[in-house]
Amino acid sequence: MAELKRLDLRDFYPLNQADQGRRALLRFIRQRRIDHADVGNLDTADAPPSTLSGIFQGSPFARTEIDGHRIDIEAVLGVALPNGGSVKRQITSMWLLVEIEVESRVIVGWILRVGRAYNNLNLASCITKSLQPWKRRELTIPGLEYAPGAGLPSGSLGAHSPWRSRFLALDNAKAHSALDFEQAFCRARGGMLFYGRAHEPRSRPIVEQFFSRLERGALRDVPGGFEPAKRLGENKIRISNFAPNDYPIQLHVFEELLDVIIANYNATPHPALGDLSPLQFLQMQGPKAFAFMPDKAEEDASDMGSVLVPLTVHGNRNEGVMPHVNYMYVRYRSPDLDNKWELVGKTILARVYRHDLRSFVLMRTATTPLCAVRAAAPWNRTAHDETTRAMIMQWSKLRTGFSITGVDCAIAAYVAFLRALAPSSQQAVDQLARMEQVHNGTPPSSRPPAINAPMKIPPGGWISLDDENDF
């Protein structure tokens, strides 16, 4: 270009073009590279795989994809008020997390999440579901039933039920990149994590296609179902003929529906598999050499929900404060830790099971336990996970009239607070819906339990207290 300008050829091609001939030169170079490329004999020689995933490509459970999908349903929750009556409030959104195997299109695990977004604990729970042996639920919806042969691979493949994928493909969402998830995955699940770009469904086509089929085939007929707008400025199209206000959702029942839909999908003939169902395809293929099939699925499923964290031992011998540790704003103690003043000020490891923070195990080393510690009141009565505790502490710090000081159970007080706040707070509605889902429709209550013992009836006739001692 500099030489052409020096010769004062600005009025001639290619300097008279808008791109000064760059695009034509690029096409010429590309074509020359194609013409002179050494491709060899394509009929006899295959190109060696350039990536590790290419070695196992084409075999079952070589790769699974996992992602979260915002369900296209405007769900309404019926909230029972503390003073009687009820009120209906809309839930912000519901998320469905699914892990799917690429070759067979079989659903390996799934989980439902309520709220604006899902976190890394929900992602780990989805992986846990894929490791636990699947069992049919006791269905409560009239007319709902599992199809013959329905199920998930973890409970339908017999001796091959522990089959796992070597590679897990996911995008780079914040929840997917959390250190707690990566630590648990590498320790308990095993395999490799392949991170792709967010909002690019082509890198995970199988799971995205499943979400589309699920929405069009089932979920949009649920009360409140709609088709989202496809272009900017357009409005969503309501598909369901039932108004959500007339049919408030019960999330534990909705989970029943999802379990049946997904289990039946695995037993439904798929056009991409030659009219075989995903489970039938896996049973016909069977595991090949070097298949990834660990024999401790239940142990790994439990370990997937745990994390190893360093904690500092606190205490003061002069003031009589026994050794203890603090985790997520709560003090943990144990009789086995009392009077061990040599540990005060030192950092030790703790194996924390994130789904139940009432207790965890302190470790001498990464594999040797020291003792089990239990949370102080009011956190030691009802099982709760990290998300629940974080939400409770967030409300208590906002100074909105909520406090757990002096209560018997922090979880029951939290649920009662949400019920009172639900008519005026969208955040309280979402969190209350989540609590009802976690506790199977019956979240803990602060009311005293009903006494089932028979009532004591005083004897008839005269009663004398003359022989009683008066202290």
Q: For the whole model, what pTM was predicted?
A: 0.79
Report domain extents, the chain: 2-33, 58-303, 305-375, 386-438
Distance of CA 214 to the CA centre of its chain: 18
DSSP β-bridge partners for residue 109: 99
Position 467 scores a pLDDT of: 60
**Under 8 Å between Cβ of 383 and 443:** no
- 300 φ/ψ angles, rounded to the nearest 5 degrees: -70, -35
d(CA 348, CA 311): 5
Q: How many helices (H) and strands (E) does the chain have?
A: 12, 15
Instruction: Tell me which architecture the domain covering 58-303 has in CATH.
Output: 2-Layer Sandwich (3.30)
Residues in CB range of 236: below 8 A, 6 or more apart:
72, 226, 227, 228, 229
Position 51 scores a pLDDT of: 63
Position 5 scores a pLDDT of: 79
Position 346 scores a pLDDT of: 94
**Under 8 Å between Cβ of 335 and 325:** no
Distance of CA 301 to the CA centre of its chain: 13
- Buried/exposed code over 422-447 (b: 16+ C-beta within 10 A; e: otherwise): beeeebbbbbbbbbbbbbeeebbeee
Residues in CB range of 307: below 8 A, 6 or more apart:
180, 183, 184, 351, 352, 354
d(CA 303, CA 301): 5
Q: What are the helix (H) ranges across 139-285?
A: 153-156, 179-184, 205-217, 251-266, 278-285
Torsion angle of C-alpha atoms 443, 447, 452, 458, degrees rounded to 10:
180
DSSP assignment string, 41-93: -TTT-PPPPSSGGGTSTTSTTSEEEEEEEE--B--EEEEE-TTS-EEEEE-S-
C-beta atoms surrounding 358 within 10 Å: 15
How does DSSP classify residue 197?
-
DSSP assignment string, 401-456: S---TT-S-HHHHHHHHHHHHGGG-HHHHHHHHHHHHHTTT----SSPPPP-SPPP
Position 47 scores a pLDDT of: 63
Position 465 scores a pLDDT of: 56
d(CA 394, CA 377): 18
Average pLDDT for runs of 10 along the chain of length 471 = 78 81 85 74 57 66 92 89 82 94 93 92 93 92 93 87 89 89 91 82 86 90 88 83 89 93 94 89 82 85 91 93 95 93 94 94 89 94 93 88 90 92 90 88 60 44 56 47
Residues in CB range of 272: below 8 A, 6 or more apart:
105
Question: Which tokens go with 313?
Answer: 């031992």
**Under 8 Å between Cβ of 245 and 88:** yes
